[in-house]
Structure 1
Amino acid sequence: MPDKNPINDGMDHLNKIEGYPTDVELKKLPRPLRYFGYFFISFFAVSILFIIIMKFLD
């Protein structure tokens, strides 16, 4: 990962104090957490499809 120059000193300080996630690989998450994420995303996708279908049937 190349080093990024901060925009200003305040942003550099904030980054050093709080930090932020970079280069997150979802395949390396624990199995239960991955499955929960898959379930969560699938649930919302199916819910949206269900709402769209019910709108057309109404």
Structure 2
Amino acid sequence: MSDRKPINDAMDHMNGIEGYPTNVDLKSLPKPLRYFGYFFISFFVLFFITFFVLSMIL
């Protein structure tokens, strides 16, 4: 159980119904999913840098 205290009864009720992840450890994800995330982020960073450099040149 989380150490967080609900703001009011409505928030406590919504937390009881929906719940929310706590103490998420991203390094515990499976390797293929981690590598896909690294690839995805790297792709967009390289795309942004390439786009910025090309827009400066052209």
TM score, norm. by length of structure 2: 0.89
Greater length-normalized contact order (CA 8 Å, ≥ 6 residues apart): 2
Please, which runs of 5 or more residues in structure 1 have no aligned partner? none
CA–CA separation in structure 2 for the residues paired with 1:38 and 1:17:
33
Number of the residue aligned with 1:43:
43
- Residue 9 (structure 1) aligned with residue 9 (structure 2): yes
Could you say what secondary structure the match of 2:6 adopts?
coil
Please tell me whether the aligned partners of residues 2 and 22 of structure 2 are also in contact (alpha carbons under 8 angstroms): no
Could you tell me which runs of 5 or more consecutive residues in structure 2 were left unpaired when the two chains were aligned.
none
Runs of 4 or more above 3 Å deviation: none
Q: Residue 14 of structure 2 aligns to which amino acid in structure 1? A: L
How many equivalent residue pairs? 58
1:53 Cα offset (Å): 0.4
Separation (CA, whole Å) in 1 of partners of 2:32 and 2:2: 32
CA distance in 2, matches of 1:24, 1:10: 24
Deviation at 1:43, TM superposition (A): 0.6
Distance in 2 (alpha carbons) for counterparts of 1:22 and 1:48: 32
